[in-house]
A and B are shown apart, each in its own frame.
Chain A
Amino acid sequence: MTEESFGRIMVVDDDVFILAVMEELLEPEGIEVVAAESGDECIAELASGFRGVILMDIMMPRKDGWETIQEMIDRDLMEGNVVAMLTAKDVPDAELEHLKEHVIDYITKPFEADEIVALVKGYLNYLP
């Protein structure tokens, strides 16, 4: 569907600085970046048909990253996506273990520019 680009990702983060940095880093690599400032925006993009790599911040107001993942599962919007969490916490809470099979990776902020580009390119390989 997006054959002209090398891939498509959605960055979900309430920090607009992070969204801008991701666009700056990834778009020159031919990766189309969809920015979502909240879990609700992410769900709306998915409901409109977005499928691809999703980088999901955990700490967001109203609906956090894990709640957004749970809603994706409940609303059948998970299939066809590869999801990695973005977080400032170095380890996730044990009670979220039941969501682990839906999350491919856990990226700790701050991250290096080269690292994030390499990781995203890696996740694109795992799209159906």
Chain B
Amino acid sequence: MEHSSSLPRDGRTIVVIGSSTGGARTLEIVFSQFPLVDAAVILVQHMPHSMNSALCRHIEEISFMEAGIAEDGEEIEHGRIYVAPSDLHLKLIKNRTISLFDDAKVQYVRPSIDVAMTSLERRESDRFAGVILSGMGSDGAEGIRHIKSIGGTTYAQALRTCAIHYMPRAAFATGRVDEMLPPEGIRENLIRFAGIL
């Protein structure tokens, strides 16, 4: 439970959450009264551009985390949620710096969950968790496979709790999901994984 306190000071704990159609109502439960945790959270939600700011504002209202639209060149910090802006892919450079770029859509979407998750690199002092919530298609499945391959922890939303179960099902089919959990379980596990800041 206190993994983070024993880590070297320069270690980062990074949680990447991928969410699409139906995921917003899951986020409502995951972030409700969500404490200030010792991790940087990257949220890739497929959504119309006009929802970006409202999503950040609402997460700040219901949680104790700071939330903002990710900016190109920004260094990630623990205790913050970085929301990927619509129409741009997001990746992390050396697990530290946000890079936004305008490549082709991947599986019909930009930002792509796979692009964000597969940008993470194995580094001794860094820890990772990947989470796939409700949605159409299979975005995030490759990302989950990657996060597992670099020693991360992986969760997907329990299928019966999803508005649309395709994305968590595709993630599960990789055989690399540690636990399929309802929204409340995802919330609890993330808090336990990250630790309180």
Contacts and interface: CB of A to CB of B under 8 A. Distances in A.
Contacts of A97: 107-108, 136-137
A126 B24 contact: yes
Contact of A105 (B22, B55, B107, B108): B22
A123 B47 CA distance: 12
A83 B51 CA distance: 11
Contacts of A98: 108
A82 interface: yes
Interface in B79-118: 86, 107-109
Nearest to B166: A91
Interface of A: 78-83, 91-92, 94, 96-98, 100-108, 119, 122-123, 125-128
B123 interface: no
Among A82, A98, A101, A108, max chain B CB count under 10 A is at A101
14 contacts: A79-B48, A81-B50, A92-B21, A94-B137, A94-B166, A97-B107, A101-B20, A106-B22, A123-B24, A125-B54, A126-B47, A127-B54, A128-B50, A128-B51
Contacts, number: 76
Contact of B137 (A100, A125, A126): A100
A82 B108 CA distance: 19
Contact of B48 (A92, A102, A119, A123): A102
B53 interface: yes
Interface string B16-58: 0000111011001000000000000000001111110111001
Interface of B: 20-22, 24-25, 28, 46-51, 53-55, 58, 61, 86, 107-109, 135-137, 163-166
Nearest to B28: A122
A104 B23 CA distance: 8
B159 to A, nearest CB: 11
Nearest to B164: A106
A108 B55 CA distance: 23
Contacts of B54: 125-128
Contacts of A122: 24-25, 28
Contacts of A128: 50-51, 53-54
Given A79-B50, A127-B54, A100 B25 contact: no
B50 A105 contact: no
Nearest to A125: B58
Contacts of A82: 48, 51
Given A97-B108, A98-B108, A103 B21 contact: yes
